Amino acid sequence: MKKIQVYLLTITVIVISLFVYFMLNFKQGIHIEETMITHSTIPARFSGTRLIQLSDTKIKTKKDLSLLKKTVEEINKLEADIVVFTGDLFEKGAISSDLSKQVKKTLSELNPSLAKVAVLGDTDLKQKKEITKILTESSFKILRNESIELYNGSSEGIQLIGIDSLSTTPDLTHILEKESSSEMFQILLLHEPTLAAKVTDYPINLQLSGHCQGNSTKNGCTQFYNGTYPFADQLILNVNPGLKERKGIFSFFSRPTIHSFLLIQS
């Protein structure tokens, strides 16, 4: 009887050890979500373009910084053409001189062939001056209720529209009426996914958001909170859960996530 108990205890310890080892490595591994976007307005020179979305890094500790470094390495391995950041770089109040320097150095190592573009999230806007400096000095173009057009060696391009976090109550209708163009493939960068249904009133093809961290109970995240949501009229919404470890019972199998989009002309 004693031998059986020892045997069962040994098996239990081994199983638990393997499970803990697996989970520690699983949680630190970067999950790359892949989506192909096909549309007739994607120019031929942009067909095959890889766009990577990074969001909600929420940096506070050296562990968070280490994860960001691993993420940048993964993005560079994917040979991204465009990298977009959809908000919330640091946790509120977590910016320090050393962390800022390290984050700036790490983000500067991102080397997409075409562009690095960012919008500010609600937490970013509470420390706007510091975040703007870090992103700008890391070669990100920050879009604040404005748009840019990207070209790839031809007269046909794509348009990126960036809007500040909804916490600033931007005039979404006015901005989209002013900036959107039905003649180009258009990507909207907006930290919160809340108003995606309203965005369908405009010729936006792809909306990239974050904010929710995979949690449907977070403010503004009840309807859209994680993954890709296609709308019948034309819009595809993607809500990236970000890198920061999520809280609660449903976060047990969550992983730090970036999203890779392959643009294809249809």
Q: Are 91 and 121 in contact (CB under 8 A)?
A: no
- pLDDT tens profile 179-203: 988 889 999 999 999 989 889 999 9
CA atoms within a 13 Å half-sphere pointing along the CA-CB vector of 139: 14
Q: Is 96 exposed, middle or buried (0-12, 13-18, 19+ CB in 10 A)?
A: exposed
Residue 26 is predicted with a pLDDT of 45
Measured in residues, the chain has a length of 266
Residue 4 is predicted with a pLDDT of 62
Residue 2 is predicted with a pLDDT of 59
Sign of dihedral through CA atoms 27, 31, 120, 170?
Answer: negative
> C-alpha 92: how far from its chain's center?
18
- pLDDT tens profile 221-251: 989 999 999 997 789 999 999 997 665 544 5
Residue 6 is predicted with a pLDDT of 56
CA atoms within a 13 Å half-sphere pointing along the CA-CB vector of 196: 30
Q: Is 67 exposed, middle or buried (0-12, 13-18, 19+ CB in 10 A)?
A: buried
In this prediction, residues 142-158 reach a mean pLDDT of 95
- What do you get for the CA distance between the two ends of the chain, in Å? 69
Measured CA to CA, the distance from residue 58 to residue 45 in angstroms comes to 35
- pLDDT tens profile 39-87: 999 999 999 999 999 999 999 999 999 999 999 999 999 999 999 999 9
- Computed on alpha carbons and rounded to an integer, the radius of gyration of the chain in Å comes to 20
pLDDT band at 24 (very low <50, low <70, confident <90, very high): very low
Q: Are 166 and 192 in contact (CB under 8 A)?
A: yes
Using CA atoms, how far residue 81 sits from 7, 48, 116, 150, 164, in Å, is 55, 9, 9, 11, 24
The string over 183-199, giving b where at least 16 C-beta atoms fall within 10 Å of a residue's C-beta and e elsewhere, is: ebbbbbbbbbbbbbeeb
Measured CA to CA, the distance from residue 195 to residue 158 in angstroms comes to 22
Sign of dihedral through CA atoms 181, 220, 123, 252?
Answer: negative
